[in-house]
Amino acid sequence: MFKYYLAKLLKKLRLSAVRNSSVDATAKLESGTVFVNSKINKHSFCGYDCMIVNCRIGSYTSVASRVSIGGVAHPVHFVSTSPAFLSHKDSIKTKFASHEFLPQIETEVGNDVWIGEGAYIKAGVSIGDGAVIGMGSVVTRNVPPYAIAAGNPARVIKMRFEQDVVEALVRMRWWDLPDTELARLGPLFNNPIEMLKSEGYL
């Protein structure tokens, strides 16, 4: 038992690396995660050992461990893709030229999204509100709201709800409600149709 708690403590002590980013006071980044030029909103969390670059993450979103979102591009239209010919600082020291190339391609992850462990989300992709990304998926194109996408490359395998329920949830935007309202509605969250009817969305 002691070894278990010691290992857990050592894992936590690694901390997370955050640069030029905004992390809401109610959000959490687990240790080992690199979070650069990004934003994560209220009550969202990111698991261990994630790499998140140039990304906007909504509220109430759950990102599992070892997820990669966004990143930087290499110049495939140059003679070489190597940073040895680029102006910005990086992991190598040798420079044969200093061409400017550092596009900031932003990735959007909506509200109430669940991204499974080990998923890869390509830079520039948009993940809609309420979507679910399966474990180990490679997402190369946009995922619509409340879709469940999985695979390599990821594709939509089903929708979480019927279309009228999806449309009602998108209109309601419950993630924007104050905590007092969510405390009132919380007991109905296991029954989407009843909750939406109670608020006049269905």
Active-site choice (43, 74, 77, 88): 74
Question: How far apart are the C-alpha atoms of 186 and 175, rounded to whole Å?
Answer: 12
Q: HSE on the CB side for 167, CA within 13 Å? A: 4
88 in catalytic set: no
Question: How far apart are the C-alpha atoms of 39 and 14, rounded to whole Å?
Answer: 21
- Maximum pairwise Cα distance, the chain: 65
Question: How far apart are the C-alpha atoms of 60 and 129, rounded to whole Å?
Answer: 10
**Beta carbons within 10 angstroms of residue 153's beta carbon:** 12
Residues with a catalytic annotation lie at 74
